[in-house]
Amino acid sequence: MKRVKIYITIALLFTSIISINAQQLTLDECHTKAKQHYPAIAQYNIIEQSKDFDIKNANMAYLPQISLGAQATWQSDITKIDIDIPVPKDIDIPVPDKDQYKVTAEVNQLIWDGGVIGAQKKMATADAELQKHKLETELYTLKERVNNLYFGILLLDERLQLHYLLEKELERNYDRVKSYVANGVANEADLSAVKVEQLKSKQDRVEMESSRKAYIKMLSIFIGEELGDKTKLTKPLANDVNSLVIQRPELQMFDAQQDLINSQKDVLTSKNLPKIGAFAQGGYGKPGLNMFDNKFKTYLVGGVRLSWNFGNLYTYSNDKRKIDLQQAMLETNRETFIHNVSIVIPQQQIEIEKYREQMKDDNEIISLRKLIREAAEAKVENGTMTVSDMLKEMTAEEAAKQAKVLHEIQYLMSIYKLKYTTN
């Protein structure tokens, strides 16, 4: 029985440890889970399978190509020897029939295709890589959305902590003013003023708690994991961005587009080169290979064939210009992207420095506001200040505390905005 109790205790302790751990969440974990849960992540496997199919289809051109054909014809004239020479009566010079028939089976084996298959496989790989990088770019935007939710929850957590302290402070002042009323130092209106502030503070707390629940719900949807109201988010470190080298996935996507353009050029060039292949043809028809034999015969022909289609040269120049235009557009898009990001970086650096400077004075402002509030409480106790004026000083102190919290979260968020911009 004792063993059972021990096991139950260990199980409960283990469960509680898991529960506590489950309530802790970091920003990096949210990024990872959001990426894994995003529905489009399944496209990676689809893109890879599609690439494999394209490459396999291209390789099929190396397999022997078999074709069947049948033909029945009637012709207005036939091959004959039109020479007037004496022929013995027992010799009959055959003349082909005007109706001819044949059934053929032909096997073609590619020997050299001018590099078309290799270029097509290269293009299939380049296209797959481009699709992957486009997906990476789409997934990267999740970071910014998760950041906004994550820091929004952190800000609400900090504000709620301050708000709980404010409510305790208001409760303490309510009891003090209540005693002042009993001693004739204050009146019922002063007590009502404190009560009004308590009710307004409660309303603000309810609104912030409701907003936090909404943020937690949205973050749960993003990461695919149900988060409770007790979930604690770990505040990330305020590490400045040391390197401002832009390493965004969009740049890798531009590189992938360049590889695809290069492979298109290779395909275009290879299509204009000659093709060499071996072939073997077997047939059954009338006549066979002997034109003067009017009986159905089987026959076999084999050899090497060279073909060169000059028709592609007609459109080669225009096709090349189209690819060059794609190249120019790609370079323009790349330069535009880098230009826009380069404009944002100094703005975000200035924003980081602004919040850093503001944070230097926050603690001093709060200390001074605290002294002013304590002095106001003493004046109320001495009857030289009204309760309403004291409440204004309390509100000013609370505003200073809220401003400090806001600056700290804004400072963190501005750092991670810059990290997102540069990756």
Domain span at residue 198 reads 25-62+113-273+308-422
Preceding omega of 287 cis (within 30 degrees of 0): yes
Residue 180 falls inside a structural domain: yes
Residue 14 falls inside a structural domain: no
Q: Which pTM was predicted?
A: 0.79
What tens digit of pLDDT does each residue of 311-335 get? 888 888 898 999 999 999 999 999 9
Residue 68 falls inside a structural domain: no
> For residues 398 and 395, what is the distance between their CA atoms, to the nearest angstrom?
5
The residue type of 131 is: Q
Residue 282 falls inside a structural domain: no
Exposed/middle/buried for 23, CB within 10 Å: 0-12, 13-18, 19+?
middle
User: For position 50, which CATH number holds?
Assistant: 1.20.1600.10
What pLDDT sits at residue 133?
93
What pLDDT sits at residue 17?
42
Residue 86 falls inside a structural domain: no
DSSP H or E segment with residue 371: helix 312-382
What pLDDT sits at residue 87?
58
What tens digit of pLDDT does each residue of 88-104 get? 666 666 777 778 888 99
Total tally of structural domains belonging to the chain:
1
Task: Grade residue 272 by pLDDT with cuts at 50, 70 and 90.
Answer: confident
Q: Which residue has the tokens 């990024």?
A: 31
What pLDDT sits at residue 385?
86
Task: Provide DSSP, 40-84.
Answer: GGGHHHHHHHHHHHHHHHHHGGGSPEEEEEEEEEE-S--------
Supply the mean pLDDT for the chain.
86
What tens digit of pLDDT does each residue of 199-213 get? 999 999 999 999 999
Residue 356 falls inside a structural domain: yes
Task: Grade residue 10 by pLDDT with cuts at 50, 70 and 90.
Answer: very low
Among the listed residues 178, 238, 233, 254, the one whose alpha carbon sits nearest the alpha carbon of residue 407: 238
Query: Among 27-31, 84-88, 242-246, 352-356, which is the least confidently predicted range?
Result: 84-88
Kindly state the average pLDDT of the residues 358-383. 89
Residue 9 falls inside a structural domain: no
Task: Grade residue 194 by pLDDT with cuts at 50, 70 and 90.
Answer: confident
What tens digit of pLDDT does each residue of 118-164 get? 998 999 999 999 999 999 999 999 999 999 999 999 999 988 998 89
Quote the crossing angle between the two packed helices 387-422 and 188-223, to the nearest 10°. Answer: 10
What pLDDT sits at residue 307?
87
Residue 15 falls inside a structural domain: no
